[in-house]
A and B are shown apart, each in its own frame.
Chain A
Amino acid sequence: MKKILLACSSGMSTSLLVSKMEEEAKARGIDTKIWAVAQHQAPTAMEEADVLLIGPQMRFMKKKFAKTAEEVGIPLDVIDPVAYGRVDGKAVLDKALELIG
Chain B
Amino acid sequence: MNRFMEVLENILMPVADKLNNNRYLTALRNGFMVALPLIIFGSIFVVIANFPFLDQWLSEDAYATYKSILDPASASTLSIMGLFVIIGIGYKMVEQRGGEAIYGGVVAVAAFLILTPKVVEGVSGAIPTALLGAEGMFLGIFTAFFAAEIYQYFVKKNLTIKMPAGVPDAVSRSFSALIPITLTLTIFLAVRVIFSYTPFETVQNFIYTIIQEPLTALGSGLPATLIAVLLIQVFWFFGLHGQIIVNSVFDPIWYTLNDQNLAAYQAGTDLPNIVTKQFMDTFIVGIGGSGMTLAVIIGIFIIGKSRQLKELGKLGAPAGIFNVNEPVIFGLPIIMNPLVLIPWLVAPVVIALITYFSMATGIVPKPVGVIVPWTTPPFISGFLATGNSVAGGLLQLFNIGVVFLIWWPFLKIMDKQYYEKEKNAAA
* Minimum Cβ distance to chain A for residue B45 (Å): 24
For B21, what are the chain A residues with a Cβ–Cβ distance below 8 Å? 60-61, 63-64
Number of interface residues of A (CB under 8 A): 22
Whether B239 contacts A81 by the Cβ 8 Å rule is yes
Give the interface centre of B17, B29, B375 by most chain A CB atoms within 10 Å: B17
Contacts known (A16-B324, A56-B239); A85 close to B319, Cβ less than 8 A:
no
Other-chain residue from A40, A57, A85 in contact with B333 (beta carbon distance below 8 A): A85
Asked if B135 is at the interface of the complex by the 8 Å CB criterion, the answer is: no
Asked if A30 is at the interface of the complex by the 8 Å CB criterion, the answer is: no
Asked if B20 is at the interface of the complex by the 8 Å CB criterion, the answer is: yes
Given the complex of chains A and B, what is the CA–CA distance between A59 and B333 in angstroms?
A: 17
B92, closest chain A residue (CB): A40
Other-chain residue from A13, A56, A61 in contact with B20 (beta carbon distance below 8 A): A61
Whether B326 contacts A55 by the Cβ 8 Å rule is yes
Whether A84 contacts B240 by the Cβ 8 Å rule is no
Contacts known (A57-B326, A60-B21); A85 close to B241, Cβ less than 8 A:
no
20 contacts between A and B (CB under 8 A): A16-B324, A40-B26, A40-B29, A40-B33, A57-B326, A57-B329, A58-B244, A59-B239, A60-B17, A63-B21, A81-B239, A81-B330, A81-B335, A82-B330, A85-B326, A85-B332, A85-B333, A86-B315, A86-B331, A87-B315
Other-chain residue from B30, B239, B327 in contact with A87 (beta carbon distance below 8 A): B327
* Minimum Cβ distance to chain A for residue B296 (Å): 13
* Minimum Cβ distance to chain B for residue A39 (Å): 8
Interface string of B333-366 (1 = CB under 8 A from A): 1010000000000000000000000000000000
For B236, what are the chain A residues with a Cβ–Cβ distance below 8 Å? 57
Asked if B193 is at the interface of the complex by the 8 Å CB criterion, the answer is: no
Which residues from chain B sit less than 8 Å from chain A, CB to CB? 13, 16-17, 20-21, 26, 29-30, 33, 236, 239-241, 243-244, 312, 315, 319, 324-333, 335, 375
Given the complex of chains A and B, what is the CA–CA distance between A13 and B319 in angstroms?
A: 8
Whether A58 contacts B241 by the Cβ 8 Å rule is yes
For B16, what are the chain A residues with a Cβ–Cβ distance below 8 Å? 60
Contacts known (A57-B240, A58-B241); A84 close to B326, Cβ less than 8 A:
yes
Interface string of A35-64 (1 = CB under 8 A from B): 000011000000000000001111111011
Given the complex of chains A and B, what is the CA–CA distance between A71 and B185 in angstroms?
A: 36
Whether A60 contacts B33 by the Cβ 8 Å rule is no
For A40, what are the chain B residues with a Cβ–Cβ distance below 8 Å? 26, 29-30, 33
Given the complex of chains A and B, what is the CA–CA distance between A93 and B282 in angstroms?
A: 34
* Minimum Cβ distance to chain A for residue B422 (Å): 15
Other-chain residue from A12, A57, A86 in contact with B239 (beta carbon distance below 8 A): A57
Whether B327 contacts A16 by the Cβ 8 Å rule is yes
Beta-carbon contacts under 8 Å, A13-41 to B: 13, 16, 39-40
For B327, what are the chain A residues with a Cβ–Cβ distance below 8 Å? 13, 16, 85-87
For A82, what are the chain B residues with a Cβ–Cβ distance below 8 Å? 330, 333
Whether B244 contacts A9 by the Cβ 8 Å rule is yes
Extra 12 A-B pairs, beta carbons < 8 Å, given A16-B319, A60-B20: A8-B326, A9-B244, A12-B375, A57-B240, A59-B240, A63-B17, A64-B21, A82-B333, A85-B327, A85-B329, A86-B331, A87-B331
* Minimum Cβ distance to chain A for residue B136 (Å): 25
Whether A60 contacts B329 by the Cβ 8 Å rule is no
For A55, what are the chain B residues with a Cβ–Cβ distance below 8 Å? 241, 326
Whether B240 contacts A60 by the Cβ 8 Å rule is yes
Whether B33 contacts A81 by the Cβ 8 Å rule is no
Interface string of A79-92 (1 = CB under 8 A from B): 00110111100000
Contacts known (A9-B244, A57-B236, A59-B240); A84 close to B17, Cβ less than 8 A:
no
Given the complex of chains A and B, what is the CA–CA distance between A58 and B239 in angstroms?
A: 8
For B312, what are the chain A residues with a Cβ–Cβ distance below 8 Å? 85
Given the complex of chains A and B, what is the CA–CA distance between A13 and B20 in angstroms?
A: 18
Whether B326 contacts A13 by the Cβ 8 Å rule is yes
For A8, what are the chain B residues with a Cβ–Cβ distance below 8 Å? 241, 326
For A12, what are the chain B residues with a Cβ–Cβ distance below 8 Å? 324, 375
* Minimum Cβ distance to chain A for residue B8 (Å): 15
